[in-house]
Amino acid sequence: MAIPDNIEFDLGQRLKLVRELNGLSQRELARRAGVTNSNISMIEQGAVSPSVSSLARLLDAIPLSLTQFFACDPSQEPRAIYRARDLRQDVCGASGIECAALPSEADGAHLTMRRYRLAPGSDSGPECRSERVGLVGWLVEGELELSLGARVFALAAGDGFYLPASQPYRVRNAGTISALVFAAQAVIAE
């Protein structure tokens, strides 16, 4: 969809773009707001200017406040929501560890978020692993054993961890239920 350069000044075009970004047809917005379809069409074409109360009623049907409507730049909306179908799914060999990652193209961010599900008995392997970047994580469900060097830590749901870059580690689910971990790469700003 082409975005006009003067979108910040054209109320009708701004309304149209916001409506389309929210997946609403003119007919659906009119139904939700209790106005006619032609009323929305005339506003979007610039043929009429809505009163503040009329615009507020249209925006309530999206729902969006007047402040949000005028403060946002709809032409620069970043991708913020990733549906389950968008996640990259991986299984780490025969380890019993499943991984799903959010797409890494998220606005050039230096963050990759992953969700790990470790089946009972799963183990990252007898050899310690390490990552090129640090990892920070949170155990949401279940129990895990996390080996860091010569120490073994028992983690329970609600516990978190931080693994600096190149930190040797091993993770194992010795419990009887799956463990669910959310982890993000921790990139240190230079």
**Tens-digit pLDDT profile for residues 60-89:** 999 888 888 888 777 666 555 666 666 667
For 102-108, the CB contacts below 8 A with 24+ separation are: 106/78, 106/79, 107/78, 107/79
The answer to whether the beta carbons of residues 11 and 44 sit under 8 Å apart is no
Start-to-end CA span in the chain (Å):
37
Lowest-confidence region among 21-25, 66-70, 152-156, 182-186: 182-186
Q: Is the pLDDT of residue 150 over 90?
A: no
Q: What is the band of 7 on the pLDDT scale with cuts at 50, 70, 90?
A: very low
What per-residue confidence (pLDDT) applies to 164? 85
The total number of residues written for the chain in this structure = 190
The CATH class given to the 84-186 domain equals mainly beta
Which amino acid, 130? Answer: S
**Tens-digit pLDDT profile for residues 25-73:** 999 999 999 999 999 999 999 999 999 999 999 999 998 888 888 887 7
The domains of the chain are located at 11-76, 84-186
Full-prediction pTM beyond 0.85? no
Cα gap 62→69, rounded to integer Å? 11
Residue of 137, 139, 138, 144 whose CA lies nearest to 175: 144
Location of structure tokens 């155990």: 139
Does domain 11-76 bear CATH number 1.10.260.40? yes
Cα gap 133→186, rounded to integer Å? 6
